[in-house]
Structure 1
Amino acid sequence: MTKGQLEAKLSEAVSKFEVEYMGRGPKLIRTYVINDLIIVRLSNFLSPSELKLTDNPQGVELFKKVRSALFEGGRGYLETLITDIIDVAIISTHSDISTKTGEKIIIITTDKNIEQLISKK
């Protein structure tokens, strides 16, 4: 599998997680594999009600707390989707959402240099 093919498969897995676990998938998703990192950038994934909620500081705080709790609850499922695609152990998973741009970033650290794994095949 090429790096581009792997990144596409990882994007599909994260999109599946977002739809099945978080309730709504992104309109645009792009995944980057860099050494031992998987960086996923999701755009336009907020629902109209979430966008309305983030109109004020209290809503932003509530939104981020709820989304963070949901993500933490589904972390194991997301990590399983990733490790089903590539044979790595996941060391850590981080996520943040910009309520200003409607963008979400997920960063996953693995125990292996994924780029080296791909080049050996």
Structure 2
Amino acid sequence: MTKGQLEAKISEAVSKFEIEYMGRGPKTIRTYIINDLIVVRLSGFLSLSEQKLTDNPQGIELFKKVRTSLFEGGRGYLETLITEIIDVAIVSTHSDVSTKTGEKIIIITTDRNIEEMLKIK
């Protein structure tokens, strides 16, 4: 499998997670593999009510708490989806949403350099 094919498969898995667990999928998603990091960039996944909620500081705080709680609860499912695609151990998973742009970033660190693994095969 090429790096691009692997990135596409991971994007599909993250999109599946967003739809099945978070309730709504992104309009765009792109995955980047850099050594032992998987960086996923999503946009266009906020609902109209979530966008409205982030119009004020209290709403932003509430939105971030809810999104963080949901993500933490589903972290195991997301990590399982990733490890079904590529044989690595997940060291850590981080996520944040920009309420200004509506963009979400997920960063996954693995126990191995994925780019090196792809060269060996």
The TM-score bracket by the shorter chain reads over 0.9
| CA distance in structure 2 between the partners assigned to 1:10 and 1:117 by the alignment | 16
Structure 2 counterpart of 1:63 = 63
| Residue equivalent to 1:44 | 44
Aligned-residue RMSD, C-alpha: 0.3
Q: Secondary structure, in 3 states, of the residue corresponding to 1:33?
A: strand
Pairing of 1:19-98 with structure 2 (within 5 A): 19-98=19-98
Give me the TM-score of the superposition, normalised by structure 1: 0.99
Q: How many residues align?
A: 121
Equivalent residue, structure 1, for 2:118: 118
Shift of 1:17: 0.2
1:45 alignment partner, SS class? coil
Q: Report the residue type matching 2:57 in the other structure.
A: P
TM-score by length of structure 2 reads: 0.99
State the identity %: 83
Give me the whole-angstrom Cα distance separating, in 2, the residues matched to 1:119 and 1:50: 42
Distance 1:117 1:92 in 2: 19
1:109 corresponds to which residue?
109
Gaps of 5+ in 2: none
Q: Find the residue that maps to 2:10 and give its secondary structure.
A: helix
Runs of 4+ in 1 over 4 A off after TM superposition: none
Report the 3-state secondary structure (helix = DSSP H, G, I; strand = E; otherwise coil) of the residue aligned with 1:99. coil
- Please report how far the alpha carbon of residue 105 of structure 1 lies from its aligned counterpart in structure 2 after TM superposition: 0.2
- Per-residue displacement from partner, 1:12-54 (whole Å, max 9, x unpaired)? 0000000000000000000000000000000111000000000
